[in-house]
Amino acid sequence: MSDAAPDYRQMWTDLGLDLPSHDALLGAVGQMYGDAYLTQENRPEGTGYLDFVLSEVHGLRIKELDDFRKDGGKVVGTFCLYVPEEIVRAAGAWCVGLCAGAEFAYDQVEQIMPRNTCALIKSFMGFKLGKVCPYIQESDMVVGETTCDGKKKAYELLGELHNVHVMELPQLKRDKDMVLWRSEIVELMTKVEELTGKKVTVETLKTAIKEVNDKRRALQRIAATRASSPVPISGKDALLATQIAFYDDVPRFTQMMNVLADELEARVANGTGVAPANAKRILVTGTPMAIPNWKLHDVIEKAGGVVVGEEMCTGSRYYQDLVSEDATTLEQMLDDIAEKYLDINCACFTPNEGRTKDVVRMAKELGADGVIDYTLNFCGLYQMEASTVEKAVQEAGLPVLRIETDYSMEDVGQLSTRVEAFLEML
């Protein structure tokens, strides 16, 4: 945190955090951030907001949540973009993302979970068991979803420690699956209304849909500039913007990202880039990357490439589609929300041709020279789809590099060697 930052230690203590462990986590994240982000050259000025938010990731934002709750507000924590933020906001609550992107308290996690559980699941459980995540401590309710068997069973264990509600996400996209999914959204709405004591109305839901869509529109503007050459923003900074979108104040974040988008559009017009025009352009697809997981982007861009897009949940899937704003009744709005969210192409769906089409489309639109398919170890969903993605991309005439890794830094040397060879081959 910055030297001028206020002392948040009493707040952290009141939230039940383990301060020595929490200090160690913040120190490690700060070091990782400095190495990955603050060493970049010619960054857009608008990324200063991202630096500020990250510097206060467990400070100012937590104080805002804390003050909101002390005034009677409720906070809902989520692990996945399938949980409709519009519903949470329409019922008067705030929504924050909880997934964790670093190894922590794995010794405790492995007492209740298999060692060969994916890093994302082990991380969020480690953050809870290790008492280092103020976001989950500020969450009055945590909403999970059945996107994979590992998360589904992990939510049972988390439910012994926290107030957890799980949404049943269908694994197909038939008409009867839409009926089930819409009923899950209605049930979530009821749960959040019970939590806040406030009813979702046509007015509050219409406002929430517009607010969240505006956030997506700002991210769409940023994403669109990445099709230019030279690229006006690094892949790392674009990834960070989407990561922060999960937990920052919605109107403020939207405003600041539109300021950044204005700057990027001016950079495109002026031909100003963060990498040479001949830098190899990479589309990354696969498992989501939660803060502070910047490893692959950092490796690619330090090897001389530039990441021009992410077909993943911490990327295009988060912002590429909007909820319709045309509805005039609550029932129509719920229909629109259900339709938008079920249309997301997670690897949990079978079949999942939509994802491979998105990868190929994005690669062409963004002028990618190659695709890197990124999978966390033991993430069965994305590991199983890797062959399908590779085949589709190769048939479209682009080379593919498949990467399997975790949150540790032990394989950075090996990854760098493989990525450098891939970039040279391009």
What pLDDT shows up at residue 162?
97
Q: Tokens in use for 165?
A: 């509600």
Q: E strand or H helix at 307, and its extent?
A: strand 306-311
For 245-262, the DSSP string reads HTTS-HHHHHHHHHHHHH
Q: Give the percent of the chain with pLDDT over 70.
A: 99
- Chain position carrying tokens 């498992």: 287
Q: E strand or H helix at 96, and its extent?
A: strand 94-97
Q: What are the domain boundaries of the chain?
A: 9-425
Question: pLDDT by residue (tens digit) across 1-18?
Answer: 445 558 999 999 999 999
Residue 6 CB neighbours (<10 A): 11
Q: For the residues 24-42, what does the mean pLDDT come to?
A: 96
For 360-404, the DSSP string reads HHHHHHTT-SEEEEEEETT-HHHHHHHHHHHHHHHHTT--EEEEE
What pLDDT shows up at residue 1?
43
Question: pLDDT by residue (tens digit) across 76-87?
Answer: 999 999 999 999
Q: For the residues 255-283, what does the mean pLDDT come to?
A: 98
Output the CA torsion sign for 386, 390, 393, 398.
positive
User: Which residue(s) pair with 402 in the sheet?
Assistant: 373
Q: Is 276 left (phi over 0), alpha (psi -120 to 50) or beta?
A: beta
Question: pLDDT by residue (tens digit) across 178-216?
Answer: 999 999 999 999 999 999 999 999 999 999 999 999 999
Give the three-state DSSP class for 166.
Answer: strand
In 37-118, which residue ranges form alpha helices assigned H by DSSP?
47-55, 60-70, 85-90, 106-109
What pLDDT shows up at residue 55?
95
Question: pLDDT by residue (tens digit) across 362-389?
Answer: 999 999 999 999 999 999 999 999 999 9
Count, residues in the chain = 426
99 band by pLDDT with thresholds 50, 70 and 90? confident
What pLDDT shows up at residue 6?
81
> For residues 100 and 120, what is the distance between their CA atoms, to the nearest angstrom?
6
- Average pLDDT of the chain? 97
Report the predicted TM-score, pTM, of the whole model to 2 decimal places: 0.97
Task: Supply φ then ψ for residue 328, to 5 degrees.
Answer: -120, -10
For 321-336, the DSSP string reads S---S---SHHHHHHH
Q: For the residues 128-140, what does the mean pLDDT come to?
A: 97
Q: For the residues 341-350, what does the mean pLDDT come to?
A: 96
What pLDDT shows up at residue 2?
45
Cβ-in-10-Å burial (0-12, 13-18, 19+) of 4 comes to: exposed
- Chain position carrying tokens 């089409």: 357
What pLDDT shows up at residue 314?
97
In 159-249, which residue ranges form alpha helices assigned H by DSSP?
175-196, 202-225, 235-245
174 band by pLDDT with thresholds 50, 70 and 90? very high
What pLDDT shows up at residue 5?
55
